[in-house]
Chains A and B, each alone.
Chain A
Amino acid sequence: MLSSRERERYKRQLLLFGDEGQEWLKKAHIFIAGAGGLGSPVSIYLAVAGVGTLTVVDKDVVDQTNLNRQILHYDRDIGRKKTESAEEKLRAYNPDIDIRVIDTTIDAENAGHLVGRADGIVDAMDNYPTRYLLNDIAHQKKIPLFHGAIRGFYGQVTTIIPEKTACLRCIFPCAPPSEVFPVVGATPGVIGTIQATEVLKYLLGTGDLLANRLLIWDGMAMHAEEIAVEKNPACPSCGKGSGSQNLPVPDTKRKHKTEKT
C-alpha cells in the first residue's frame, strides 16, 4: 500500500500508471553498475520515480575531472567515495526508497552475488570487459540488461532481454579500444535518461522497449537513428552451446508485470 506521503510525492505519475504501477515500482530492485556519467541520471530518475530498491556499485573516488558530467557528485565531494556521495544525494532526492551502495570493483568472482535478486541491471559502466560480464550475469539470472554507452556527443542505448533479444555480445562482438574518452555531460544525460525510461517501462510492463533495436544518438547532427539487431546463433554468450545456457538459473525473481500475461 502506498502511504499518503507517497501518494502525494508521486501524484503526477499516478496519473500515468495509477497505484498499481507505483506499487510495481516500489517492489522493484534495480542494480546500477556505475555511479558516473550514466549512473548519475539513471539513479536520480529511478530514485525520484520511486523504484523501491536501488543498488549502486562503484569503486572510484570523485575526481575534479568527473564534475562536467557526473551530476550526482558536487565540487565538495572531490576525494570522497562515489558510493558515499551517491548514497547521500539519492537519499536526499527520495528518503522513501532503499538505497544500497557497494564500494567495489565488479569482477567475475563477485558479479553474481552483487546483482543478487535484482529485477534488472543498468549498464552504466565505462568499459566492455565489465559490460560483457554484466551481460553474462543478466543471462544467467534471466533479468534484463539496460545498456548505454557514450563518447563525445554520441551515444548508444538498447534493452537486452535474455532469451528474447540479441545480447550485448551479439551486437558488439568486439570491444572498441579503451581510451580516455571525450565527453560533454549532456550526452550521458540523454542516454542515461533513456535507460531510466526503459527501466520504468519494463517494470510497469508498458510501452515498446528498445528490444532488438539499437538507438544511436548523434548530438552533433541532433539526430537519433535506430538499427535493428538480431541474435547471433553462434554467440559465445547467449548462443547455442554457450556457457550461460548450461548454468543453473535461480528461481528468485519476482514475477514481473510483463510476464504475467
Chain B
Amino acid sequence: MTIKVRFFARFRELLGTDIVVTAQEGTHLLGLVKKIAEKSREGYDAIFDAKGEFREFVIVMQNGRRVETATAGSTPVTDGDEIAVFPPVAGG
C-alpha cells in the first residue's frame, strides 16, 4: 500500500515533504513516520523523544483528522492515507 507523508515548517526543512512510501499491511503510524525521519538525525530528534515516542506537542493528522500521538503506535495506516506532521510555533 502507498502512503503519503507531509512534513511542515521546520520538519519539512529537515526531512522534505510529500514523501510517498510503500508500506506493508499492519504498519502503524508511529513506525511509518519514524522510518522516514530516521534519514535525518536532527529531523528524528525534532519529532521524537528519547523513548522513540512523538514529542507531546507534535501535531499528527491522518487524512485531515488529528491522531492522539500517544496511540500512534497502535494506529494502523491504510492504502492512500495522507499523514501530516506539524510542529506548532510559539513566537509572537
Contact = CB atoms under 8 A, between A and B. Distances in A.
Interface of A: 34, 36-39, 123-128, 148-152, 154-156, 171-172, 174-179, 181, 183, 188, 216, 218, 220-221, 225, 227-230, 232
A149 B90 CA distance: 5
A116 to B, nearest CB: 22
Contact of B9 (A123, A127, A216): A216
Nearest to A70: B92
B11 to A, nearest CB: 10
Contacts of A175: 57, 88, 90
Nearest to A228: B64
Q: How large is the interface on B (under 10, 10 to 19, 20 to 34, 35 or more residues)?
A: 20 to 34
A151 B57 contact: no
Given A216-B9, A216-B86, A227 B92 contact: no
Most buried by A among B10, B84, B86, B92: B92
Contacts of B92: 34, 36-39, 123-127, 148-150, 188
B91 A172 contact: no
Contacts, number: 83
A152 B10 contact: yes
Contacts of A177: 57
A229 B64 CA distance: 8
A174 B16 CA distance: 25
A216 B59 CA distance: 12
Contacts of B59: 171-172, 227
B57 A154 contact: no
Contacts of B87: 176
Contact of A218 (B8, B56, B66, B88): B8
Most buried by A among B17, B66, B87: B66
Contacts of A36: 92
14 contacts: A36-B92, A126-B91, A150-B89, A151-B89, A151-B90, A171-B59, A174-B57, A175-B88, A176-B57, A176-B89, A181-B91, A188-B92, A218-B9, A221-B12
